[in-house]
Amino acid sequence: MFEEATVYSPVIRQENGTVSVIFAREHPGFEDADYQRHRARIAELALTYQLGDPVPEVEYTAEEVDLWRQVVADLQEKHRRYAAPEFLDGSRRLDIPTDRLPQLREVSGRLRTLTGFHFTPAAGIVGLRDFYGSLNESRFQATQYIRHCSMPYFSPEPDMMHEVIGHGNALANDRLAALYRRVGRAASRASSRKALEVLSQVFWFTLEYGLVLSDGEPKVYGASLLSSVGELEQFRSAAEVRPLDVTAMVQQSYTVQNFQPVLFCAESFDQLEAFYDEFLSSIEAGEPVLTGS
């Protein structure tokens, strides 16, 4: 679906202070000068942000607002069919606007009153220890840009639809928010880069792409899957679904530019919580569990 070079668009600041976002040739925004300038302006807002300041507001284009309306309406229909009860609870509580593109500051304020989590802006990809460690502070570092309008239903980059619709709704549920916070605590105590990489791999196959049985059917609680209209439509028929297993997750390769061929499903949310408690305790102890659970 995407070449690997399109996955992340690095943000750089030139010697003269100018901020640029570097797009690979295969990226849908590569030849769109207006989109490139727009992304650079949004990136600069994040780069100049200081913790404790209000989240800066972004001036979105009319095309981006229309895209938000279109994609969110499609996602909500898919969520009613495929999302886990915990995610749907968070979605009802957060009540993100669908008729307009909300500001990250606005959603963050709503979220803070519900579970104590809040958003801070990120220019792009954040380092492992920084990103996961911030979860321990009930803080989620989120991008504020929107995917290119030519590709509305899937983005390998974490844009506002991914951050707000996927992670925001999850973080509005108490049980899911507790898992994110627990991940953050373990990351803050992890003693090695290897432990963080193992944690990141398990996070990917659970809080990004995880399934849980509900009334005998696999339902989605993972934020990446829940923010992809295209992948939600075919995950049950296109992916191999396996039980929770840390070793299998760590050994399973994945690419962010394609639909996932392997997904992992918990038997219940109780099992997911127990699985995470054992795994994260091992991360904190410096000896990650690499056996089935």
**What are 168-178's pLDDT values in tens digits?**
999 999 999 99
Total residues belonging to the chain: 293
What single DSSP character describes residue 282?
A: H
Specify the pLDDT at position 289: 60
Q: Which two tokens stand for residue 10?
A: 């690095």
pLDDT digits (tens, 9 = 90+) for 271-284: 999 999 999 999 99
Q: Are 229 and 154 in contact (CB under 8 A)?
A: yes
SS3 199: helix
Rg (CA), the chain: 18
| Distance separating the N- and C-terminal Cα atoms of the chain | 33
Q: Which stretch of DSSP H or E encloses residue 274?
A: helix 269-284
Measured CA to CA, the distance from residue 73 to residue 76 in angstroms comes to 5
pLDDT at position 34, please?
A: 94
Q: Which residues form the catalytic set?
A: 162, 167, 208, 227
Q: What is the pLDDT of residue 237?
A: 87
Residue with tokens 């619709």: 165
User: Running DSSP on this structure, what letter comes out for residue 272?
Assistant: H
pLDDT at 1: 32
**Angle at 139 (CA atoms; ends 12, 195), nearest 5 degrees:** 80
pLDDT at 6: 37
Given this model, what pLDDT does residue 115 score? 98
| Angle in degrees, CA 183, 165, 217, rounded to 5 | 75
Q: Give the pLDDT of residue 8.
A: 63
Residues of the chain whose pLDDT is less than 70?
Answer: 1-8, 15, 257, 288-293
